[in-house]
Amino acid sequence: MPLYGQVVIGPPGSGKTTYCHEMSKYLTEMGRQVAIINIDPANDSLCYEAAVDVSDLITVEDVMEYKNLGPNGSLIYCIEYLERRLDWLLENLRKFTNFYFLFDCPGQIELYTHHNSMKNIMAAIKNELDTRLCCVQLIDGHYCSDPGKYISALLMCTSAMYQMELPHINILSKIDIAIKHKSKLLFNLDYYTDVLSLDQLLNALQNDPFTARYRRLNKAIVSLIEGQNIVSFIPLNVKDKRTMEVVRKNIDRANGYMFSAQENKSAEMLSSVMQLDINDLTLDVLEHIPKDDSTEMI
């Protein structure tokens, strides 16, 4: 029987470690045996107990001291070293039979957009341990408040989806904070989750004195993203079980997770209580955002 797991990626500060902690607790309540695997050699303040911790093998701090590299170069060195020592990682993972894996990954985006080590590591886990993985990319909801940041996030997600070669779910994390500061959003939440026409954001960029000088580049990037048309987001507040359930359902669908009899009962109970899919959730969240006549809405 195959194993299952999530590869949790995203920029620094997007909430990956917190997500792993909260998702682990949520899945445990459903009846799954969960093992969190920390493969971020720079993460020295874990809020969970790691079943396997790459820091036992190598740390960024040690590489900086002995190889005289900067923080980013040291992290790349660590991941490349982990790729060379895959036997260590696979041996430790084999101890957790019938566990659901959550891989807490580093925040350097180049590891998922054009560097091959992380892709190779996950491919080895997938093949050697017969593991069905889903890449879960977290994007901080505050990116929606700035057209340039949001378009950059879309470009990053598009690149990572092609590079990692795994089923992929994109998440807008900390959505409760984005809603709290809704006055900074040009549009309603569903504009950002569904990635509607980017011409609206392009106009905002062209009217900005700083970004207007890159008019042709902005237009080319927007055209590239819309031409691929593969990115959408699920809103997430890790303290809201409704959003956690929607995320869980989408990830299980993406990697074909098979429920045990006991867990299936728990999942049915949750679904019957919540009765939410992604569209319902977005509308439910929007109902709590008062309309502002001074803000253009889609």
Please tell me the number of Cα atoms within 13 Å of 128 on its side-chain side.
15
The superfamily (CATH) of domain 3-195+231-286 is P-loop containing nucleotide triphosphate hydrolases (3.40.50.300)
SS3 at position 208: coil
For residue 214, what are the CA distances in angstroms to 1, 39, 143, 204, 221?
52, 37, 20, 13, 11
Copy the structure tokens of residue 1. 């029987």
CA angle at 124 for the pair 122 and 130, rounded to the nearest 5°: 95
For residue 289, what are the CA distances in angstroms to 136, 182, 195, 260, 295?
27, 8, 19, 39, 12
Write out pLDDT tens, residues 151-199. 999 999 999 999 999 999 999 999 988 888 777 888 888 899 999 889 8
Write out pLDDT tens, residues 229-272. 999 999 999 999 999 999 999 999 999 998 876 676 666 666 65
Name the DSSP letter for residue 14. S
Write out pLDDT tens, residues 104-153. 999 999 999 999 999 999 999 999 999 999 999 999 998 998 888 999 99
Query: Is the separation of the CB atoms in 17 and 104 below 8 Å?
Result: yes
Q: Which residue has the tokens 């940041």?
A: 149
CATH 3.40.50.300 placement within the chain: 3-195+231-286
* Of the candidates 87, 132, 108, the residue with the CA atom closest to the CA atom of residue 41: 108
Type of residue at 220: A
